[in-house]
Amino acid sequence: MTINILAFGIAKEIVGGTSTSADLPSHTTVAQLRRRLEEQYPRLGKLASYMIAVNNEYAATDSLINEQDEVAIIPPVSGG
């Protein structure tokens, strides 16, 4: 399956746009997606931390990702 991944803040600069896509086997976990992203974009692994959001919620590393999910890279937040 191909999933579209939104990127914000510094993640937008790392992936070179407001989104990127990844071809993944079905039943992919958040942890597997993170490994794939870090292979493709080594700078992600150098951030202080980052989270993956699925459908507007912070996702646990063992959560499964489906093709229709809205997936986003959430680098360290700094609002306020």
Partner 1 sequence: MVDILITGKPIDTQACINMASSPHSGGIDVFIGTVRAATKGKEVVRLEFEAYRPMAVSEIKKITAQMLQKWPLHHIIIHHRTGILKVGDIAVVIVVSAAHRDAAFDACRYAINTLKQTVPIWKKEVFLDGEEWVAAHP
Contact residues toward partner 1 (CB under 8 A) are 6, 8-10, 12-13, 46-48, 53, 56-57, 72, 74-80
Strand partners, 13: none
Q: How far is the CB of 25 from partner 1 (least distance, A)?
A: 26
Q: How many whole angstroms separate alpha carbon 64 and alpha carbon 40?
A: 20
CB nearer to partner 1: pick between 27 and 66 = 66
The DSSP result for 23-47, as a single string, is: E--SSEEHHHHHHHHHHH-GGGGGS
Q: How far is the CB of 5 from partner 1 (least distance, A)?
A: 12
CB nearer to partner 1: pick between 27 and 30 = 30
